[in-house]
Amino acid sequence: MSGGIEGARRERRIVAQIELGGGERAILSGSTGDDSGYEELLMIASTVGPPHLATESEVVARAEKYVRANGFVDLVDADLKAVIDPPPPGMTLEAFVGTRAHDLLPRACGVSRKVRDGFPWGWHVVFCHDPRKVKSGQGSIRVVQINLVGNDPFIPDPTPDKTTMASAGIKRLAGMDDFERLASASRPTWR
């Protein structure tokens, strides 16, 4: 009961703390003036749960799909409707995507779950440049950044946190083996 001197009114209140995982929690709070509203609040509270946090394999698969759809691997894999970056002025989207075809190898070279101030916030999936394509910056990497639930992939420029394959916490993946094999095969042998 509440209301004080002006009069009492009946109020039912619920406050629930819900563990989201990773040391995070959500607080659900609500109030109602009748029993049926209180039951509705309890039903809503029972449906709230932690979001599905993407696994490493889900994140890597999503990033590999992203680089293909955005034309970084092969022009035939590109989905022009999915390309995020706009072309430079005076260039068609098709021509723009064609300039970056074969920039990256199709399989990720590394992955790291990113943590700031003790809280996980996202993933970095590292892709190696295709050593068979001669271009400036050859041998460098590109990072696809993805949030914790596995959504919103993008390639930030410049590479965030100065990420390299030698950065702390980067797990080596099969794409790095592909890169090393192709790089050694494309080097001239001197006698």
In the numeric block, which tokens belong to residue 81?
């409707």
Q: Which of 161, 128, 125, 131 is nearest to 144 (CA)?
A: 125
What pLDDT is recorded for position 181? 92
Q: Hey, which residues does 39 pair with through a beta bridge?
A: none
pLDDT at site 15: 78
Q: Does the global pTM surpass 0.85?
A: no
119-130 burial: b if 16+ Cβ within 10 Å, else e: eeebbbbbbbbb
Residue with tokens 């592909």: 178
Element (H, E) at 20: strand 12-21
Average pLDDT score over the chain: 81
pLDDT at 112: 92
Q: For residue 142, with 0-12 CB atoms within 10 Å meaning exposed, 13-18 middle and 19 or more buried, which class applies?
A: buried
Q: How confident is the model at residue 191 (pLDDT cuts 50, 70, 90)?
A: very low
Confidence of residue 144 (pLDDT cuts 50, 70, 90): very high
Name the token pair of 29.
């709070």
Q: Is the pLDDT of residue 139 over 70?
A: no
Q: Above 60 in pLDDT, residue 190?
A: no
Residue the block writes with tokens 């009961």: 1
Digit-coded pLDDT (tens) for 73-110: 988 888 988 888 889 999 999 999 888 888 899 999 99
Q: Which pLDDT score is estimated for 135? A: 63
